[in-house]
Amino acid sequence: MSFHDVLKRGDDEIASRWKRSFIWNEISHLTCVAATAFSKVILSTLYNVEVNGLNNLDSAFAKGRSNNQGILTIMNHMSTCDDPFLFACLPWRYFRDWEDIRWGIAASNVCFTNKFSSTFFSFGKIFPCERFGRGPFQAGLDACIRILSPDDTIDSNHILGDPNYIKLYHKSNVTDPRHAISLFDEKYLSPVLRYKTSWVHIFPEGYVCQLRPPHQNSMRFFRWGTARLILEPTVAPIVVPIFSDGFEKVKPEEIDMKTDYLTPNNIGAKITVNIGRAIDENIIQKFRTEWNDLCLKYPNKENPNDLSEELMFGKEARELRSRVCAFLREQVAKLRLENGFPEEDPRFKEVSFWKRYTGSRGASDPDIKFIGLNWAIKEYQNHVKIYDERGNVIGERESERPEGL
């Protein structure tokens, strides 16, 4: 189940981009199709692409649409060209309608730095996500939770809260049908034009990860915001794991100021996309039952329609989100083995390792080497804000990226 105010914040984030507009959706559809077509030309003419398990994705869509469930796909993040090249590997039928094209999130300090890029990625059905300490409770993730929640489940049977409290709390507000003043308001409209359930795709690692041999094609830990997309939609999404390799050859991370990032690299290289079976819904439901129990155990006494402090930052809730993400990572790691890679170094699945490694800029474990930079080091990136332990902005810092990168 979901909280009213979480879905409301998601509604407001979506509605701020005019996604109920027919014209907006047509332009968005055209943008996504054009980007996909361009990517398909590159892949089909310059690379050897192999897609395994497409029937698993087809089955997930068929089941999701028939059972009124959202679809969530999760994949490792090896290259900045993972999106849109991943989707260029799929048949054109996945782009027939605007409702069929995936939604996603991307780093705000990379993809939403000016009006042009913000508009482009917004038309590309991408929400901004703050990294480097902002935490899992932010508008972009709330929007994804709302996207994964079917419109006909926005009711008191699927939403935790007190409708009477909502009416009283919003009594002095002016109702705008484009914004969710109250999800139970008779004037309420869904923030998106759609006639079937939606697809959200994310890269749970949060950053590109290209490691040198013998650790190539290994993964970071999965960020805890991923667990929110499992636990908080009104109904459980169908979750499909994906592992890809080869995109890192198209766009390798190199410490070389002479590298031409606009020119495809390693022409003729093989790209493999391995789509796994949908994760057992009984396991997903078990996690959601644990979450619902915590919601009832730790209500927000000041506002029963929103997450309490304990649900956001408490030990039990954090431990649950950690277990969900560890489980999801295991499912993607299994596909990695199917792609022919050896077992990962056991350190890579531990959050503590990545905190230690990133905090020391690699000095703690010198046997682990990146191709290029470890982009999880905030000093290497531009437009980075500084947050306190609760995700509140307390400043901004300049990039310390090495000269020429």
Convert the pLDDT of each residue in 310-323 to its tens digit. 999 999 999 999 99
Residue type, 75: M
In which residue are the tokens 């890269």 written? 203
Q: What is the mean pLDDT of residues 55-60?
A: 98
Taking the domains of the chain in order of start, what are their residue ranges? 2-397
pLDDT in tens, 72-130: 999 999 998 999 999 999 999 999 988 899 999 998 888 888 999 999 999 999 999 98
The residue that leads in pLDDT, 275 or 179, is 275
Contacts with 232 (C-beta within 8 Å, 6 or more apart), sequence order = 2, 3, 6, 145, 291
Q: What is the mean pLDDT of residues 227-235?
A: 97
Cα→Cα distances 173→19, 204, 403, Å: 22, 37, 51
pLDDT in tens, 157-197: 899 876 666 555 554 444 444 444 578 777 788 888 898 99
Compute the distance between CA of residue 139 and CA of residue 137 in angstroms, rounded to an integer.
Answer: 7
Question: Distance of alpha carbon 314 from its chain centroid, rounded?
Answer: 23
3-state secondary structure (DSSP) of residue 148: coil
